[in-house]
Structure 1
């Protein structure tokens, strides 16, 4: 085959792979027990509702396996369970696979970076859990649990998969552990935590792509705390804090919430209620959702030193946005609203500016988002 034909073949193969690539978003809606599947057109940000599957009452946090073959979804009603779904590699459609018990009602779900363990955090029971995932992608009935301070709110492993960190909202601590890859056991690093200022409310986590830095959103403060990660021990060192709530929002400091006063109905004061935190694929931008003002704040990230700079805050049409998610190319931000009947797609400019470009119907109380790119990566 001559050189011209080889080049033509390579171009054709590249175009074919690109054409076969697809980006899907899976969004849980606990009020109707559904997981809705959307396709995101990464050329223009358009969202299309593809399918809905029944997952179970109060389906809430979800997690994708690292290989993109399985979606795990936690049900927050007794008996507490995790439902797993197989993902069709071509269409992205979900097929119910198996169920396994969970230790408690879980507010957060993730897997380790190798897909060997299911990790979870229980806000109401103040604990973290780890359970092995077998070769059939079914979580074990043998569950390790770890008590925390009041209101554990997240648990994730770092990019190296040697360490795990958790937001402990009610204790104003970020918990730090070593992960035993052979057993899934978590061992506290040092004292087992680093503290943040009182009434910060550490919630969700995000890592820099190179694994050098950890970022934690404060639910009650609307700040993002930055930490460096010791490459040898995994110990965290605070390096910066950035405020994501501009004065124009006129929000008072937040308060700890639980099932009894989640909406603070007896308190008419608009209060900070930050929720999700997402890092752009290139590690240069960080996005934080804020529910009371229905907005998203954007920070610039110093990729060398880990420090943050608040850029701006943008209103979103989705009321009470709990979760947000970025497309794999980083050009689009998907936003859900717990009190919205729409899911929105926003174009992300190079400076982090957001512009709404598309929408699709959502399930009731839509909140958790997982994004998957299939084929052509």
Structure 2
């Protein structure tokens, strides 16, 4: 799922046949969703994201080894979609802060690929590649809101790697740290990553834990601790206030709510029931308190 930059629309990719994206309008006065319509997608899309203009929707197709690019019309619905081949198993799409480049981690190729993006024309061309450790499996990305530092979580290695991007799309890798440092995992399966303030949060599914890092002013990471969350955390999201972290537990049909304290650490989870096998979670509003 992905929110439009202006908060008016919610986009949800359906992973079954026929492959489509569902579009909902968000009620500005409350939390209701109004169904607008659907549009076709060229493949099974595992992650979607929008550019800063809200005019382009990007998707990563793990099984299709491609990414989709959909132009969005004035009514909020995609009206034109094309597929672009990528290296093996792309799993995430993210735009840089200036909307000039699209970054795509390719889990099966141990690469992050940078694409130059022209929002006026919708033109995309490859600008650079960053190779990570063999077999690490880069999965998702997060960008620090403080200093534009980037971080990638690697599924098979259960690590977080810091990296930076130059103006021409080249990428430079920094430090790599394990997500969890209090326990060892024989078959790691890291999942999601988010940055909020000067903190970075990274989840490992088989252990059911979230690692917490401090982000320095220069983009370096310092491990601060870890906490148990809902079992098999597939994805998580920060609410609009930055005071709560919401975790989708794929195998227990629950989601967890962690309050974030004044130091950026996570409080023990409050669990709530949800639909079957949740794989993504998006906060539409800020949360006042856990009820």
TM range (shorter): over 0.9
What is residue 345 of structure 1 aligned with on the other side? 257
Question: 1:1-377 to 2 correspondence within 5 Å?
Answer: 62-140=1-79, 142-189=80-127, 192-210=128-146, 212-230=148-166, 232-246=167-181, 248=183, 250-252=184-186, 271-280=187-196, 282=197, 284-302=198-216, 304-316=217-229, 318-356=230-268, 358-373=270-285
Deviations along 1:289-318, one digit per CA (max 9) or x if unpaired, are: 11101111111111x2111112212111x2
What is residue 24 of structure 1 aligned with on the other side? none
For residue 153 of structure 1, give the secondary structure of its aligned residue in structure 2: coil
Count of residues in Structure 1 that have an aligned counterpart in Structure 2? 286
Relative contact order higher in (CA < 8 Å, ≥ 6 apart):
1
Deviations along 1:335-369, one digit per CA (max 9) or x if unpaired, are: 11001232221122244432235332211101211
CA drift at 1:247: 5.1
For the residues of structure 2 that align with 1:237 and 1:311, how far apart are their CA atoms? 24
For residue 344 of structure 1, give the secondary structure of its aligned residue in structure 2: strand
Relative to 1, partners in 2 of residues 1:88 and 1:205: Cα closer, same or farther, differing over 3 Å?
same
Tell me, yes or no, if the aligned pair for 1:159 and 1:209 is still in contact at 8 Å: no
Deviations along 1:88-138, one digit per CA (max 9) or x if unpaired, are: 111121111111000100010111111110000000011111110000001
CA drift at 1:159: 1.4
In structure 1, list runs of 5 or more residues that go unmatched. 1-61, 253-270
For residue 369 of structure 1, give the secondary structure of its aligned residue in structure 2: coil
Tell me, yes or no, if the aligned pair for 1:344 and 1:356 is still in contact at 8 Å: no
Between structure 1 and structure 2, the one with the greater Rg is: 1
In structure 2, list runs of 5 or more residues that go unmatched. 287-291
Let me know the Cα RMSD of the aligned residues. 1.5
- TM (norm. structure 2) is 0.94
